[in-house]
Amino acid sequence: MKPDVSQPLRSIAVLATAALGVALISIGLLYNVSVHQQGLRLLGMVREQARIIEAMAAHEMQRPAGDTSRAVQDDAFVAVMSQLRAAQNKLAGLGQTGELYVARREGDSIVYLLAHRGQSLVHPARMVFGGESGEPMYRALTGRSGAGILRDYRGAKVLAAYEPVKVFGLGMVAALDLSEVRAPFLKADLIVLVATLVFTIVGGLLLLVVSAPARRRLRENSEFTRRILAASPDCIEVLDLEGRLLFISDAGRQLLEIDDPQTVLNTSWPDFWQGSDHEAALRAIAAAKAGGSGMLEGFCPSRKGTPRWWNVVIQPMAGSDGKPERLLATSRDITERKRTEEEKERLAREVERRKVELEQLIYAASHDLRTPMVGVQGFVGELRRSLKDLLAELSRPDLPPEFRQRMTELTGAEIPESLKFIDAGVKRMNGLITGLLRLSRLGRAEFQAELLDMNRVVGEVVRSLEFAAREAGAKVEVSDLPAALGDRMQMGQAFSNLVENAFKYRSPDREPVIRITGRRDGGMAVYTVEDNGIGIAPEQQQRVFIPFFRADGRTDGGEGLGLTIVSRIVERLGGRVWVESEPGKGSRFYVALPTG
């Protein structure tokens, strides 16, 4: 029996049984009353007949005046008997088994005088007086009058009324088989029983039929809910308003590696969380109780100790009165995400640390190189001075000619040449060191990003490069430039480098013209520094930004760090720099910067 149906069906069964009981008791009571009434009726009948007989007998015996012979008596008796016989046939109200009979005592036996069931007068049976059967007649013959349920001459139970007849020593009994008395009541019992049964069954069936759609809907709903719960990989829990755990989904049990749900049901849910997570859990519950939704991200390992991170949302579940009755907690396992985040943070820190280390190394190295550099350069200068003094000494007239000649070769040609190369090497080293220092300083420098008026910045750059422009015979044209987010000094440095480059790589065939323009493109400001110089070969265009790279292999006038510095500056400000170039025609350098 499905649980959703057995309950009401049981109720119906109980009600039916109660009704049945009541009905049966009622029938029983009615039966008693009926027996009593019938008994009285039979008694009335028997008494009436007895009196009639007595009256008749008295009448018969009075007929012959004064004749009290035996023959009169016998005549009277016969007359009475025939009257009785007639009455017996005509008596109504005795039903099918009812009989009215008369008997008298003869010695120890009862002798029946009227034909009745089972008896013939030709061979009247004799009954033992005072035996177990024939109780009604016994009573009548012993002068008692009344009615009751007794065993008659057959030994069967009857409802009998008995009355002694005052003449001839007779006794009269009117009896009805008890079974006949009972019959209608038994039939009633049966009808009631069957009716109850039928009504119970019909009622039950009706209940099943009528509730079938509702039950099916209920089943479908709970099946639907169950499927949703089972399908969700999240841990779904239901809490009461005090935060006790009432329910946890299968997925939740698996994630928390709980073997027996009984161990966690009815425990306090906030106690799953430690430290500040515990406070957050209590706050989330309070928020949900107030009708909103509470959130918490925290750490709670499984029962077996597996570390897990969770993102929990707690919402109220309203009861029938619309107020929060219970709380629904949905917990998503974010352990993977947390791990990935932590790993990312760790790597970022590592990268930053390495970067700082590297920059410090470059800085320290280039800084320390400066000192001996100065010494070398200084003493090259000293050597030159000493050489000059030596030359002055050699111009004395009193020196031998070969000696003078040899000395002049050395001091005039060889030594100066050596010094020249040392000088050049030192200059180059200095350039590299300076470049490295500037590069490493970029990393250590603080960038102050502000919205810059690029017209001002570039204007200042062009002004400061006036001398260099004149030397290169170059013309610089600046159009109206959009503003961008950047560091003033660094931006100036970057554009200065770009313009200086344009001077350096000018074409010998024409007047160098450098155009600086700018436009907006999406969220960025894109500036162009365009020249008509010698351009850059296609395979080298990507490499110009590499540190120490010199296009066309020059060794003078710089270290090859200018563009590297430009790209570093621009990238640190969140921008991009790239080049387009045509060898023999010129180059265009693009700088894109955010506009904020």
Partner 1 sequence: MKKEVVILIAEDDEAHIVLIQRNLKRAGIANEQVLFKDGKAVLDFMYRRGERQRLPDTAYLLLLDIKMPEVNGVEVLRQLKADPGLKKMPVIIVTTTDDPREVDRCHELGCSSYVTKPVDYEQFVEAIRRLGLYLLVVEVPKVDGDK
In the complex, which residues of this chain contact partner 1 (CB under 8 A)? 367, 370-375, 377-382, 427, 430, 441
Q: Which is nearer to partner 1, 106 or 382 (CB)?
A: 382
Nearest to 570 by CA among 414, 447, 424: 447
Cβ-contact 237, 327 below 8 angstroms:
no
Helix, strand, or coil here: 584? Answer: coil
Residue pair 256/266 in contact by the 8 Å Cβ criterion:
no
Choice between 61 and 369, CB closer to partner 1:
369
| Nearer of residues 13 and 437 to partner 1, judged by Cβ | 437
> Which residue number, 370 or 550, has a Cβ lying nearer to partner 1?
370
Residue 514: CB minimum distance to partner 1, A: 27
Structure tokens at 498: 């770009």
- CA dist., res. 156 & res. 133, Å (int): 8
Edge-to-edge order in the sheet of strand 586-594:
475-478, 513-521, 524-531, 586-594, 576-582
CB-neighbour burial class of residue 80 (10 A; exposed 0-12, middle 13-18, buried 19+): buried
Give whichever of 184 and 381 is closer to partner 1, judged by the CB atom.
Answer: 381
Neighbours of 508 (CB within 10 A): 7
Nearest distance from residue 466's CB to partner 1, in Å?
A: 21
Question: What is the closest distance, in whole angstroms, from the C-beta atom of residue 477 to partner 1 in the complex?
Answer: 30
Do β-strands 157-165 and 235-240 pair in parallel, antiparallel, or remain unpaired? unpaired
Q: Tell me the closest approach of the beta carbon of residue 480 to partner 1, in angstroms.
A: 31
Q: How far is the CB of 376 from partner 1 (least distance, A)?
A: 8
CB atoms within 10 A of CB 16: 18
**Shortest Cβ distance from residue 441 to partner 1 (Å)?**
7
Interhelix angle 335-394/415-444, rounded to 10 degrees, is 150
Smallest distance, partner 1 to C-beta of residue 587, A: 29
Task: Report d(CA 82, CA 43) in Å as an integer.
Answer: 22
The two three-digit tokens of residue 227, written as one number:
């499927």
Choose between 38 and 440: whose C-beta lies nearer to partner 1. 440
In Å, how far are 392, 419, 420, 463 from 411, measured between CA atoms?
A: 11, 11, 13, 45
Q: Which is nearer to partner 1, 87 or 373 (CB)?
A: 373
CA-nearest of 79, 45, 81 to 59 is 79
Report the residue number, 352 or 368, with the smaller CB distance to partner 1.
Answer: 368
CB of 437 to partner 1, least distance (A): 8
